[in-house]
């Protein structure tokens, strides 16, 4: 299931079981719908920086995975900007160097 918070429309079902559901009531409602659809499975939030900031600020993120490469995208927006994400506490649980990137995993503490 993919949840989209900016586009409206009827759900779209694709071959292979992927479906797109359009939720426009905010990130909390989108994550709640995804969790209901997932049952006991994990829910992955993917999107641009604004989606990540909304989810972090709403407190619906348990774990944050970052893949850091020495490339500046767009204007170099700050993911963990205090204004956009509120006061976050992160604990690094994994740091794996890779070819061209470092892969970081954090627990989001509440």
SS3 for 100? coil
70, 109: one domain? yes
> Cβ–Cβ contacts within 10 Å for residue 109, how many?
9
**Residue 52: inside a domain:** no
pLDDT value at residue 3:
57
Residue 37: domain span: 1-44
pLDDT digits (tens, 9 = 90+) for 2-59: 555 666 778 888 898 888 888 888 899 989 989 998 999 999 998 888 889 999 999 9
Token pair for residue 96? 């794996």
How far apart, in whole angstroms, are the C-alpha atoms of residue 40 and residue 101? 31
65, 97: one domain? yes
Which of 63, 74, 70, 78 has the alpha carbon at shortest distance from 102? 70
With helix as H, strand as E and coil as C, how does 17-58 read? CCEEEECCCCHHHHHHHHHHHHCCCCCCCCCCHHHHHHHHHH
What is the pLDDT of the chain when averaged over all its residues?
Answer: 87
How far apart, in whole angstroms, are the C-alpha atoms of residue 95 and residue 88? 19
**Residue 51: inside a domain:** no
The pTM assigned to this predicted structure is 0.80
- Is 98 a residue whose pLDDT tops 90? yes
The domain tally of the chain equals 2
39, 76: one domain? no
Percentage, residues of the chain above pLDDT 90? 43
Mean pLDDT confidence for 63-73: 88
| Stronger pLDDT, 106 or 74, i.e. the higher one | 106
67, 105: one domain? yes
Instruction: Return the ∠ at Cα 74 (arms to 6 and 1), rounded to 5°.
Output: 35
């Amino acid at each position: 299931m993919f949840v989209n918070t900016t586009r409206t429309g009827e759900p779209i079902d694709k071959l292979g079981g992927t479906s797109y559901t359009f939720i426009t009531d905010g990130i909390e409602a989108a994550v709640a719908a995804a969790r209901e659809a997932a049952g006991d499975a994990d829910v992955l939030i993917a999107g641009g920086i604004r989606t990540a900031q909304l989810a972090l600020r709403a407190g619906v993120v348990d774990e944050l995975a970052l893949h850091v490469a020495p490339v500046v995208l767009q204007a170099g927006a700050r993911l963990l900007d205090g204004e956009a994400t509120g006061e976050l506490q992160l604990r690094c649980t994994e740091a794996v160097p890779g070819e061209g990137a470092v892969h970081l995993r954090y627990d989001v503490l509440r």
